């Protein structure tokens, strides 16, 4: 009976140590930038993969222009979440709308401050500017 308990303890310790040293576990507020690509899916571990870039509306709609690559830079932390500054190459008649949400998979649980590397996706609105 004692041998079984030792094996269980060793298994738990092995999983714990592996989880803490995994190169895929990253503290979100220490991520300096994220590059997101149209047509690619996120990395996933606990939940299904999502699109790295997903248009969810806006005055320009989602049927016309779609950014190929978006770079989001960590602009700081407000004590609750990371503030992101996202940019892409687009004609002057377009701009990102009010909805610009980056979601990342929590490493161990929903809302974990540690995330799975490569698990972030951006949901965005695309608006027309007055230049159109």
Residues 6+ apart with CB under 8 A from 9: none
Q: What is the pLDDT of residue 32?
A: 97
Instruction: Write the pLDDT tens digit of every residue in 70-114.
Output: 999 999 988 888 999 999 999 999 999 999 999 999 999 999 999
Instruction: Write the pLDDT tens digit of every residue in 5-41.
Output: 544 544 454 444 444 447 899 999 999 999 999 999 9
Q: What is the pLDDT of residue 84?
A: 96
Q: Is the pLDDT of residue 52 over 60?
A: yes
Residues 6+ apart with CB under 8 A from 57: 97, 99, 125, 126
pLDDT mean over 110-122: 96
- For the chain, the structural domain boundaries read 24-128
């Amino acid at each position: 009976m004692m041998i079984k308990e030792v094996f269980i303890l060793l298994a738990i310790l092995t999983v714990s140590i592996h989880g803490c040293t995994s190169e895929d576990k990253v503290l979100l507020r220490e991520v300096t930038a994220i590059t997101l690509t149209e047509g690619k899916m996120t990395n996933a571990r606990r939940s299904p993969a999502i699109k790295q870039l997903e248009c969810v509306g806006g005055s320009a709609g989602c049927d016309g222009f779609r950014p190929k690559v978006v770079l989001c830079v960590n602009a700081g932390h407000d004590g609750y979440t990371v503030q992101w500054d996202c940019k892409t190459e687009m004609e002057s008649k377009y701009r990102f709308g009010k909805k610009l949400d980056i979601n990342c998979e929590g490493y161990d649980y929903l809302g974990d401050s540690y995330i799975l590397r490569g698990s972030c996706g951006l949901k965005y609105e695309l608006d027309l500017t007055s230049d159109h």
